């Protein structure tokens, strides 16, 4: 039986995908350097600590485990850090992906499911993006991912390799059963940060910008539960195994919540008020960014199970209270 290599599989999203792969009996090999992931988050399969940019290591793993599919999550993902240290992001996100693709083509890997981001869209004027919306990233994180998308498309055009690119919107929440969760150091994602404040891990929660042209003046984002996102990866794998063509798909629910609405949800679920401080806008934050994900549903038959902000917040808050690592 062939195996699946999951790069970055000890990280927040990768570990949730690994959990679902293992649940349906897949052979899984996880490669992670543990720079931001946790060994405890990998609850099965074969774990290897190392870098995606290590071509000798990657080539050996592909051969030893008869890998026919790679799910590539390994990346730096903090937007402000990418602005401050762009070469770190181009090195780890783009150059390391180039090395991975070279190893995959040499080893005859058939399928890649690639973790991308809505940051490739930049600031669409309407606040809503489908897969044909212009890609004009406004930070090195988005640019580094878009470069990897372009490389992957070009390699697929020149070789038998087929791929699915999944562009995530705002991923939130944790495993509903509480087995694994999000313990990313210095996290910047709103639901995570708000839940940390709710349990006393942060002294306050900052709201960056209260004067946007939105109903309550704060930014609106499309929040998708990590378990639903993980399910999209499994359906992408099934699509490729069935002979499906390479494609790019948005991963979101198709509607958004403002920063204030998310804070209200955290307060509602936690049962108490948060300490919130209004701050000036951050450069480059679009007023709204919402996915059109009709293509994901139509092509893969994906249907979300956790499209409820209180459920998303509840699973994240439970992890902050009871999580076992981080």
The residues carrying an active-site annotation are 141
Tokens of 122: 């930049």
Q: Say if CB 176 and CB 315 are below 8 A apart.
A: yes
How far apart CA 326 and CA 315 sit, in angstroms, is 16
Tokens of 123: 């600031």
Strand segments (E) across the chain: 3-7, 28-32, 46-49, 67-72, 111-117, 128-129, 162-168, 170-172, 205-208, 220-221, 223-225, 247-251, 257-258, 276-279, 288-291
The rounded radius of gyration (Å) of the Cα atoms in the chain is 19
Quote the crossing angle between the two packed helices 190-198 and 309-322, to the nearest 10°. 50
């Amino acid at each position: 039986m062939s195996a699946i290599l999951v790069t970055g599989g000890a990280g927040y999203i990768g570990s949730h995908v690994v959990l679902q792969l293992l649940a349906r009996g897949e052979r899984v090999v996880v490669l992670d350097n543990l720079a931001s992931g946790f060994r405890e988050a990998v609850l099965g399969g074969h774990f290897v600590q190392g870098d995606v940019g290590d071509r000798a290591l990657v080539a050996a793993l592909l051969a030893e485990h008869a890998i026919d599919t790679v799910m590539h999550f390994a990346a730096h993902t903090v937007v402000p850090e990418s602005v401050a240290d762009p070469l770190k992001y181009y090195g780890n996100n783009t150059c390391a992906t180039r090395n991975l693709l070279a190893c995959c083509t040499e080893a005859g890997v058939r399928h890649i499911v690639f973790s991308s981001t809505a940051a490739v869209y930049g600031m669409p004027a309407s606040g809503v993006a489908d897969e044909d919306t212009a890609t004009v990233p406004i930070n090195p994180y988005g640019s580094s991912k878009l470069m990897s998308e372009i490389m992957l498309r070009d390699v697929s055009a020149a070789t038998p390799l087929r791929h699915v690119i999944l562009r995530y919107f705002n991923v939130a929440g944790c495993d509903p059963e509480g087995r694994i969760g999000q313990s990313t150091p210095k996290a910047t994602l709103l639901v995570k940060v708000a839940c940390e404040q709710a349990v006393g891990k942060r002294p306050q929660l900052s709201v960056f910008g209260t004067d946007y042209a939105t109903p309550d003046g704060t930014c609106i984002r499309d929040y998708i539960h990590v378990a639903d996102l993980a399910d999209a990866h499994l359906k992408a794998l099934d699509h490729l195994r069935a002979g499906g063509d390479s494609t790019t798909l948005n991963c979101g629910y198709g509607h958004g919540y403002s920063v204030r609405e998310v804070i209200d949800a955290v307060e509602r679920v936690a049962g108490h008020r948060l300490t919130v401080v209004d701050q000036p806008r951050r450069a480059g934050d679009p007023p709204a960014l919402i996915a059109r994900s009709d293509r994901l549903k139509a092509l893969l038959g994906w249907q979300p199970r956790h499209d409820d902000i209180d459920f998303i917040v509840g699973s994240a808050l439970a992890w902050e209270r009871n999580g076992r690592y981080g």
